């Protein structure tokens, strides 16, 4: 029989769920001393599904002082021995940092997960159940273990999980472990000055000077430390161009950028400030946004620009108008040749990275949503009333939101844009692509 481990922080109702699943059959309590004492096992059924349920809830009576460590050890070992994980959260409380901690353990296991939003009797926990989306463990099943509600949905979810692929692991997800280098790509049209900037950052010409410099076409990366921060300059056209046939460059610039963009967290789109915002520049920037990367625009060759204040104002306006999908993006004038502005560019890169990683608490998002609905509700479309109910951020890198409501498919594009721009302003997310998707609640 498949082994299903019931995991979650204390008091979410794991024992109640366990008892419900195992029913009258006597749970086998392992009496050996040590960790195993904390766990109960029993043969469980939901509909015609049979499995071994493991409950880690015995821990809830443990002494405070030792609880955290034992809970962790117990959860780890239960997860390890399980085929499927039943992750329980409390729909009346919503997601707590402790839930996130346990969810982190579960995500790393890469096993199929059924997420249960417990205590959701009588729709009482609707908001909390939606909140559970942001654990990144899939769609929550609202349930009341105590009132015996929602078990048909649980049956379906378990059925799907048995013999199901493990959930996609979100490798981008941050954890508390050591962080790798921040990866940056520098892209842009030929002659924008990419190589010059990279040389300046790397501090020597060794990699880029000659056609025989040993640059291979695959996976070029240069590591450097900038103000104590580990930076990896990933495969960029500027690093490869010297090894390439020059006359193909113009055509290749956009498609070539894609590869670099996909390797990077933050992408610096380099423009030649004397001829900025050409079609190809915009295409490249749009690609960065569509790939969901953090974007910073460098206006290079600033040393050649006269009347800088006026130029900056014009460029700012042009950028926000022509690249409205990433409005407010950092726009940094630099001279790669003289080094002027390069420090500020790197500051902007770090900051863009931070924005791209930002997580907005669900409560704040919904306070904001309430205001939106009051002052600028969605229009009725052909008599259909769209109802927007609840919003949560499901992911960072880039910030990704889910909005629950009914008939959201008829929302006009302009209203969706309004929402995205509103999120951008309310939660200070300039320049980063923002993903917004809609869901109909069950
Ligand atoms: P890439 O094709 O984007 O890698 O561009 P390069 O780095 O090879 O630079 C193209 C040309 O622009 C070279 O002649 C550089 O010397 C020049 N250049 C690069 N940065 C600057 C700058 O900040 N100011 C000026 N005036 N020229 C620059």
| pLDDT tens, position by position, 308-350 | 999 999 999 999 999 998 999 999 999 999 999 999 999 999 9
* SS3 category, 93: coil
Q: What is the mean pLDDT of residues 2-23?
A: 89
Neighbours of 285 (CB within 10 A): 25
| 3.40.50.10470, 3.30.300.20, 3.30.360.10, 3.40.50.800: CATH of 362-439 | 3.30.300.20
Report, as an integer, the average pLDDT of 71-86: 86
Q: Yes or no: say if 402 and 419 are a contact pair by the CB < 8 Å rule.
A: no
pLDDT of residue 130: 78
CA 208 – CA 198 distance, rounded (Å): 9
Q: 201 CB contacts (<8 Å, ≥6 apart)? A: 224, 226, 231, 233, 342, 346
Residue 213 confidence (pLDDT): 37
Share of the chain above pLDDT 90, in %: 39
- Counting residues of the chain whose pLDDT is more than 70, the rounded percentage is 80
Handedness of CA 414, 420, 421, 423 (dihedral sign): positive
Instruction: Provide the β-strand partners of residue 84.
Output: 4
* Ligand 1 site-directed mutation target among 191, 192, 193, most atoms within 8 Å of CB: 193
pLDDT of 170: 47
Look at residues 431, 437, 436, 435 and name the one whose alpha carbon lies nearest to residue 285. 431
| Backbone phi and psi for residue 357, each to the nearest 5 degrees, phi listed first | -90, -5
CB atoms < 10 A from the CB of 46, how many?
19
What is the per-residue pLDDT for 334?
98
Q: What is the pLDDT of residue 55?
A: 86
Q: What size, in residues, is the chain?
A: 442
What is the residue-averaged pLDDT of the chain?
A: 82
- Mutation pick for ligand 1 pocket among 336, 340, 345 (CB with most ligand atoms within 8 Å): 336
346 Cα–ligand 1 center, Å: 18
**What's the confidence (pLDDT) of residue 255?**
66
Count of Cβ atoms closer than 10 Å to residue 222 Cβ: 17
Higher pLDDT, 215 or 140: 140
Domain 182-356: CATH class, spelled out: alpha beta
Judge contact between 261 and 291, C-beta under 8 A. yes
Task: Give CA 299 to chain center in angstroms.
Answer: 29
**Which pLDDT value is given to residue 350?**
95
Whether 335 is in the pocket of ligand 1, judged by its Cβ within 6 Å, is: yes
Burial class (CB in 10 A: 0-12, 13-18, 19+), 307: exposed
pLDDT: is 302 or 439 the higher one? 302
Q: pLDDT tens across 172-195, in order?
A: 444 433 467 899 999 988 889 888
Residue 333: CB within 6 Å of ligand 1? no
pLDDT surpassing 50 at residue 20: yes
Using CA positions, which residue lies closest to atom 27 of ligand 1?
Answer: 301
**Is the predicted pLDDT of residue 29 greater than 70, yes or no?**
no
Question: What is the band of 128 on the pLDDT scale with cuts at 50, 70, 90?
Answer: confident
Greatest mean pLDDT range, 18-22, 55-59, 415-419: 415-419
The CATH 3.30.300.20 portion of the chain extends over 362-439
Residue 433 alpha carbon to ligand 1 centre in Å: 28
Task: Please give the pLDDT value at position 243.
Answer: 45
CA distances from 280 to 253, 254, 255 (A): 8, 7, 11
Is ligand 1 within 6 A of the CB of residue 189? no
- Residue 195 Cα to ligand 1 middle (Å): 7
> 140 with 117: CB under 8 angstroms?
yes
In the prediction, which pLDDT does 237 show? 55
Q: What is the pLDDT of residue 207?
A: 46
Confidence of residue 215 (pLDDT cuts 50, 70, 90): very low
Q: Is the CB of 159 under 6 A from ligand 1?
A: no
Q: Which two tokens stand for residue 384?
A: 């259909």
Helices 413-426 and 362-375 cross at an angle (nearest 10°) of 130
Determine which of 207-221, 283-297, 404-418, 424-438 has the lowest per-residue pLDDT on average.
207-221
Helix, strand counts (H, E) of the chain: 13, 16
For ligand 1, atom 18, which residue shows the shortest CA distance?
A: 193
Q: Is 357 in the pocket of ligand 1 (CB under 6 A)?
A: no
C-alpha–C-alpha distance, residues 139 and 132, integer Å: 8
Ligand 1 centroid – CA 210 distance (Å): 16
216-263: pLDDT as tens digits:
344 467 888 888 888 888 866 555 554 444 444 445 556 667 778 888
Looking at the chain, the domain(s) classified CATH 3.40.50.300 span 3-161, 182-356
CA of 275 to the centre of ligand 1 (A): 13
Class of domain 3-161: alpha beta
Residue 149 DSSP label: B
Cα distances from 232 to residues 183, 221, 222, 289, in angstroms, run 5, 6, 6, 20
Q: Which carries the bigger pLDDT value, residue 408 or residue 30?
A: 408
pLDDT at 247: 43
């Amino acid at each position: 029989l498949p082994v299903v481990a019931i995991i979650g922080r204390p008091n979410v109702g794991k024992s109640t769920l366990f008892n419900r699943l195992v029913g009258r059959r006597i749970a086998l309590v392992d009496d050996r001393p040590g960790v195993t004492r904390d766990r109960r096992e029993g043969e469980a059924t939901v509909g015609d599904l049979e499995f071994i349920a493991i409950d880690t809830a015995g821990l809830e009576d443990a002494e405070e002082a030792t609880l955290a460590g034992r809970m962790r050890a117990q959860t780890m070992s239960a997860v390890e021995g399980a085929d499927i994980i039943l992750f329980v959260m409390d729909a009346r409380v919503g997601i707590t940092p402790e839930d996130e901690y346990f969810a982190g353990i579960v995500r790393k296991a890469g096993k199929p997960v059924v997420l249960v939003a417990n205590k959701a009797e009588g729709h009482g926990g609707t908001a909390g159940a939606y909140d559970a989306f942001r654990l990144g463990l899939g769609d929550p099943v609202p349930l009341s273990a105590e009132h015996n509600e929602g078990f048909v949905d649980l049956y379906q979810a378990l059925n799907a999980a048995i013999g199901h692929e493990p959930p996609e692991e979100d490798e981008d997800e941050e954890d508390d472990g050591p962080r790798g280098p921040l990866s940056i790509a520098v892209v842009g049209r030929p002659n924008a000055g990419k190589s010059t900037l990279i040389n300046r950052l790397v501090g020597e010409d060794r990699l880029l000077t000659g056609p025989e410099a040993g640059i291979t076409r695959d996976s070029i990366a240069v590591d450097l430390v900038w103000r104590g921060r580990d930076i990896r300059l990933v495969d960029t056209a500027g690093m490869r161009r010297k090894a390439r046939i020059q006359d193909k460059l113009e055509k290749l610039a956009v498609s070539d950028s894609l590869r670099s963009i996909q390797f990077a967290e933050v992408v610096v789109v380099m423009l030649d400030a004397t001829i900025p915002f050409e079609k190809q520049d915009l295409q490249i920037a749009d690609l960065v946004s569509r790939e969901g990367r953090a974007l910073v625009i460098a206006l290079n060759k600033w040393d050649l620009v006269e009347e800088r204040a006026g130029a900056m104002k014009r460029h700012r306006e042009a950028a926000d108008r022509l690249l409205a999908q990433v409005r407010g993006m950092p726009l940094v004038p630099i001279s790669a040749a003289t080094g002027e502005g390069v420090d500020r560019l790197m500051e902007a890169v770090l900051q863009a990275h931070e924005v791209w990683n930002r997580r907005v608490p669900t409560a704040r998002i919904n306070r904001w949503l309430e205001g939106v609905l009051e002052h600028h509700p969605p229009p009725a479309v052909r008599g259909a009333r769209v109802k927007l109910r609840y919003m949560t951020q499901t992911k960072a890198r880039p910030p990704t939101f889910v909005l629950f409501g009914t008939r959201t498919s008829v929302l006009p594009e302009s209203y969706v844009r309004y929402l995205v721009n509103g999120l951008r302003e309310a939660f200070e997310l300039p320049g980063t692509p923002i993903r917004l998707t809609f869901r109909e609640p069950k």
